[in-house]
Amino acid sequence: MESEYETKSSLLDLAHRVLKYADNKAITSAEVFFHLRKNTQVMTEGQSISTERSTSELGFAVRILNKEVEGFSYSNKTDMNALKSCVDEAVDITHVAPIKPGLKFPIPSKYSQIDGRFTNSVAEVTIEEMIDSAKLVLEPMRKAKVSVRTNLSKIETSENAFGIVNSLGVEGFSRSNCLEGNFLAVAREGEKVGSFVFDSFYTHDTSQVDFLNFGEVLTSRAIRNLNAVTPPSIDSDVVIFSKNSVFQPLFFVIAHSIRADSVEQARSMWKDKLADSVAIESFNLIDDSHNPNAGSGCKPFDDEGNKTQKTSIINNGVLKTFIFDELRANKMDTKSTGNSWRGLGGMRFIQPPSEIFPNAPHILPGDMSTEEIHGDVKLGIIFEYFSGSFRVENGIFSGVAKGAQLIRNGELAEPLTNVSIGGNVFDVLNNITGLSKETQLTGGFLTTPLIRTKGVKISTQK
């Protein structure tokens, strides 16, 4: 049940009271940001429910600008005395902090109304229902003829409320919730142990998740990996990146390359590529910030109060824009794209806006079915996730292709183990030979098709 101190009106009222106190100081402008997070988790270990827990945390952050000098402080104590102390500390910091040319707060703008981000379907889920759902996921593992067990896995509901006010008249409040699951499973038969498999779901509509089927697919994949082999070699450079392996390393390198701060600091390989081709013609990337089906980054405003938008970043292979926060937009004489973040996870009130990142990235689908993506491959691999190193500055990656499976003459063949891959993300984008029609949400954040490419080095460790 929502506390009377956690309603939209009470939270915004407190933020305005803190802002009024700050505005009485000898400063240029002030900002007050808050984040309320409620989370309920059901954890599984092995084939059983291990723990259940519910948490609720609320915190406020204060930013003070004295011309182009910034002071910042935060507190998870929400009484006025504690928050006044935050203001005083942030003001004191402005007396010693360095100048940040171009630093200022956003002015008010009209935020879009986004339906479907907060649903009763999720809000009404009980802990007992979550336990029953987790049991359905585990049921196929319990019935399997070999031992299949989970590790560090969970189903959780979370609710997030964000608010921001500043001296220039910005006021924003946003609330969302979701049901998500993350499961890691491994099969064992006698002395034989397969490699881990991972899958996840994220939704605002609980009826969209078939928990039993999710468990059946996860179990069958884990059992399949019991029979993984290490071939002497794979004479091919064809690789299909599935949803999780697109997320890392491909997307992280792309995300770094389109950040305005990376461009400003000459750490982006695309710093001089605006309006140039950076990928094959059929590759398109948008930031779909107002689509509630696009994951957790769907929101009406970013972490400094600028409105978000639907942004075409790569269109038909051509880099159309970089993404901006307020500071870099001012320095580069353009407008913010609404991509400022206060960190990329956890409680957001504990730091000032410091990251530029896509909100709800979506790699648009291609024109090939999943069967066609496989069908054109005489010899190659498809893999589920990447474990290794990659450098966002130059795109070089090298590591193990986890959950790999051989493709031979268009058919999925034996599962593989001890297979490594290496290459360059920027080469991958220009060597894509297929994008699937089907897309999937990975990490509750990135929507992506299967991506087939050539030119990747595949090696085995027999």
- Residue 105 pLDDT greater than 60, yes or no: yes
Please check whether residue 294 is in contact with residue 117, taking contact to mean a CB–CB distance below 8 angstroms: no
Handedness of CA 24, 26, 29, 33 (dihedral sign): negative
| 336/287 Cα distance (integer angstroms) | 14
Phi, psi of 31 (to 5 degrees): -140, 140
Q: What is the dihedral of CA 149, 177, 60, 94, to 10 degrees?
A: 90
* Residue 347 pLDDT grade (very low, low, confident, very high; cuts 50, 70, 90): very high
Residue 198 in contact with residue 190, Cβ under 8 Å?
no
Query: What is the C-alpha to C-alpha distance for residues 76 and 5, in angstroms, rounded to an integer?
Result: 14
- Whether residue 3 is predicted with pLDDT greater than 80 in this model: the reply is no
Mean pLDDT, residues 202-224 taken together: 96
pLDDT at 2 over 70: no
Q: Is the pLDDT of residue 401 over 90?
A: yes
Residues 109, 334 contacting (CB under 8 angstroms): no
Compute the distance between CA of residue 450 and CA of residue 376 in angstroms, rounded to an integer: 14
pLDDT band at 4 (very low <50, low <70, confident <90, very high): low
Share of the chain above pLDDT 70, in %: 99
Overall average pLDDT of the 128-142 stretch = 98
Q: What percent of the chain clears pLDDT 90, i.e. is strictly above it? A: 95
Candidates 200, 185, 201, 180; CA nearest to 150 is 185
Report yes or no: 381 and 454 within 8 Å, Cβ to Cβ: no
pLDDT in tens, 313-335: 999 999 999 999 999 999 999 99
HSE (side-chain half, CA atoms, 13 Å) at 406: 23
Token pair 């954890």 is at which residue?
Answer: 43
Q: Is the pLDDT of residue 6 over 60?
A: yes
Phi-psi region of 376 (alpha: psi -120 to 50; beta: other; left: phi over 0): alpha
Give the pLDDT of residue 461. Answer: 82
CB atoms near residue 26 (< 10 Å) = 7
pTM summary value = 0.95
Q: Tell me whether residue 372 is exposed, middle or buried, using C-beta atoms within 10 angstroms of its C-beta: 0 to 12, 13 to 18, 19 or more.
A: middle
Instruction: Output the pLDDT for position 433.
Output: 98
Neighbours of 457 (CB within 10 A): 11
**What are the structural domains, with CATH classification, of the chain?**
4-222 (3.30.2290.10), 229-462 (no CATH)
C-alpha separations of 113 from 110, 118, 254, 284, 291 in Å = 9, 12, 29, 26, 11
Dihedral angle sign, alpha carbons of residues 85, 87, 89, 92: negative
- Rounded to an integer, the average pLDDT of 393-404 is 95
Identify the pLDDT of residue 195.
Answer: 87
Average pLDDT over the chain reads 95
**CB contact set of 114 (below 8 Å; sequence gap of 6+):** 290, 292, 298, 299, 300
In whole angstroms, what is the distance from residue 342 CA to residue 262 CA? 17
Per the rule left: phi > 0, alpha: psi between -120 and 50, beta: everything else, 303 is alpha
- Res. 1 pLDDT band, cuts 50 70 90: very low
Q: Are 299 and 114 in contact (CB under 8 A)?
A: yes
Structure tokens at 270: 């695309």
Token pair belonging to 5: 């101190």
* Whole-number Cα distances in Å, 281 to 202, 315, 366: 30, 8, 11
Q: Taking 60 as the threshold, does the pLDDT of residue 374 lie above it?
A: yes
265-297 pLDDT, tens digit each:
999 999 999 999 999 999 999 999 999 999 999
What confidence score (pLDDT) does residue 368 get? 97
